[in-house]
Amino acid sequence: MTDTLPDRLSTNPRSPHHNAELLERGIGIRFNGVEKTNVEEYCVSEGWVRVAAGKSLDRHGQPMTIKLSGKVEPYFRPPEDEAK
């Protein structure tokens, strides 16, 4: 597997930007220098992330999201055995 992250990635399996292999490996997101754990989708080149808006659901049962603009820095999280 490659060590480069895609420009755009989504956690929603219905999205064309979804990549299950990368998500299983573990991806972290720093947004404007702050670690974010609730990111649903990101785009580095356009500088935005989508985060869940509380517990609200849309008419299809998917979480409602808010698009935030800023500096996006994705990275691979270290494996659990190396983190300790």
Confidence of residue 81 (pLDDT cuts 50, 70, 90): low
Q: SS3 of 6, please?
A: coil
**Is pLDDT above 60 for 41?**
yes
Is 41:48 a contact under the CB 8 Å cutoff? no
State phi, psi for 81 to the nearest 5 degrees. Answer: -70, -25
- Rounded to two decimals, the pTM is 0.84
